[in-house]
A and B are shown apart, each in its own frame.
Chain A
């Protein structure tokens, strides 16, 4: 302790300027990469021959990139809870589900009790039953509902630590999808449509404001085309924007008062509270902000799939999300993004495609996707053995982990070193 404290004190202020410009450069990198990818799929790919086209369609379809972005949004959200504030959350899927169902409720014909439909700046065709709100509004609503849910789950866990906290969040993550699965008949009211889920959802309008067409008198003026299931490129742009928002919030909030409070709680809760960090408020804020992003992820996922089903929101999602955060580097937003993109791609496209190629090459019939979790588990075990801090760790985490190792050794050697 005595050794590390002065170090932290004199590095922190000197580096703050460097760190700030560093993160900005990263942000530019994010935007540039997103644009390059978009340019590639929109302009370069159609002009390439069938060979490269097939290759890209098989190995890297834009659809699976979009799905990976959903994971990124949620992983960045989970990173706030786990990576920043150090609160182990095993039930993040609950927020994903709540966000998804919010989209289902407010962007479909599901509530057919409203026979003429309630429309608000929606791109959905007129005179359909149900509630049809604008996609961007639904994003905000879902975020807020999830933030509220985050506070509700956060409140009773404030007095819990480590394993006990994990158990309560685990329970929450199990309960919420069950509620959606069994919510077909809540005292006669169909809340979730049970296992049949809610499908299809409204086509969304790409512009943050207003519907696809505006009617003035009898004339219909088209502003933008509503995005159907095939406008993958336009959805990519929207998903990147949402992800960029989450990344931006994560980075900025970390530099601020709240972010520093979270890091302090993560490092040493007792010391932080002694120094005047409001534990309750900070922890609840972490849950709320993380859940907000989970809600955004849920809406985006529902739009990506054009449907919501309770089956999809299983425990595995919470674990995979956690693995993304840990694998990428807890606390470091960029590491988490790399972890999320990598694992999501591996899950949805990489492994099945590798399996297909392998089986074709060697004439075997091995079902590679079924070994998914075996590979997954092995990678995590190896990571824990050789690179505990993740692929792209936060500088702080690395220091802490290395320091802990050193002090263990010191204790064992009895001060010989």
Chain B
């Protein structure tokens, strides 16, 4: 017994001594991250399972296609792509725990210098602060699809500063934000569809609440009465009672602030079952409902209006230039256009990352600095994957593009209806 105690005491004393050494040595070794060699890894972080699978696969494919077109090279660097999945089979959509895990994995993978993603704003709000505190960084993240304003500008209390604990910015995006999207949707519904009384449903997530709030703020200015703004529960088996209530209030339009993954199919089915088809009572959703072949084929989805904070595949092809060429190459290789218009925005985000890598010394910190110091990153219109000059504001990480497109689901496909001009 006595011996056993001695061993234990020794072990504890030893571990304490080593702990003292360990903490000092770990702070020294952290500078090694970020690489500096000729090959650097960039990653995508997207939901590869559940309803968003098609959109995410298309984005990954478009990026792979683009990288192979440029020979996986930019400046002196060879680029490798690594794909992360921020969804789980159990959730059937993006999952907070998976986002947390991915965040630390991005940092742990020392060859990785920047992240393209995420698709969901809620996920970005988990990953950005972690990348921000990377001891060898901050590590750059550029999103093709996060539209929640709070990530880059004042929105909810404490935003956006709470996502940047080090006080330095490391997050940029190539799409405009939901304050613009909600505004455009309300204006379109008032002016073009002539609706008077709207009921808003949101999916209770960061993104859904944000875009719903933006819609609710703008609508009264255009003469729309907001009858209510309620969350829908993505786990509920049906929404008949909810729509009965809305029908009783005499709503002539429904705005769905959220993502299709949150049981959107059932929601739309029940809306049509209770309130009639989408010509009688107008239905509109934000970009969280775009890029889902499942929705486009849904009979109840026909006639649903969608807004997209950018240019759709149709627009990009009509516009010509680099974007149209990339789309044609995609179609030649995979047989159809990308399932989501965000695919080319994914390429645009990668272009921003690559430009930053090209100008940098190959370390994470340097890559991030290229975007957020000096005049920032500019991608000229002739090479840009979305056919327009992309300019990232080095102060906020927001993009200069303010495109907004209104679409309608018609003949089992998303069809571009018109562009909707917005002013900053």
Contacts and interface: CB of A to CB of B under 8 A. Distances in A.
A57 B112 CA distance: 15
B101 interface: yes
A38 B206 CA distance: 38
B11 A57 contact: no
Interface in B84-102: 88-91, 95-97, 100-101
A125 B164 CA distance: 12
Contacts of B158: 109, 112, 129
B63 to A, nearest CB: 21
Contacts of B206: 196
B15 A35 contact: yes
Contacts of A259: none
B4 A24 contact: yes
Interface stretch (A72-80, A273-281, A304-312): A304-312
Given A203-B165, A229-B103, A369-B90, 20 more contacts: A21-B1, A24-B1, A35-B11, A38-B15, A112-B158, A129-B157, A194-B231, A196-B122, A196-B209, A200-B163, A228-B133, A229-B133, A230-B134, A233-B22, A234-B23, A305-B100, A306-B126, A306-B130, A307-B100, A309-B96
Interface residues of B, number: 46
Interface of A: 21, 24-25, 27-28, 31-32, 35, 38-39, 42-43, 46, 57, 61, 63, 109, 112, 125, 128-129, 184, 194-197, 199-200, 203, 206, 224-225, 228-234, 237, 305-307, 309, 311-312, 367, 369-370, 372
A307 B104 contact: no
A309 B206 CA distance: 12
28 contacts: A28-B7, A28-B8, A32-B8, A43-B18, A46-B29, A61-B108, A63-B101, A129-B158, A195-B205, A196-B204, A199-B126, A199-B129, A200-B126, A200-B130, A200-B163, A206-B23, A224-B23, A228-B133, A229-B133, A230-B107, A230-B134, A305-B96, A306-B126, A307-B100, A309-B97, A311-B91, A312-B96, A312-B97
A183 to B, nearest CB: 12
Nearest to A370: B89
A contact patch SS: helix
B204 A194 contact: yes
B165 A125 contact: yes
B183 interface: no
Contact of B204 (A195, A232, A234): A195
Nearest to A32: B11
B4 A112 contact: no
A28 B9 CA distance: 9
Contacts of B4: 24-25, 28
B162 interface: yes
Given A31-B8, A233-B26, A370-B90, A197 B96 contact: yes
B23 A230 contact: no
Contacts of A57: 108
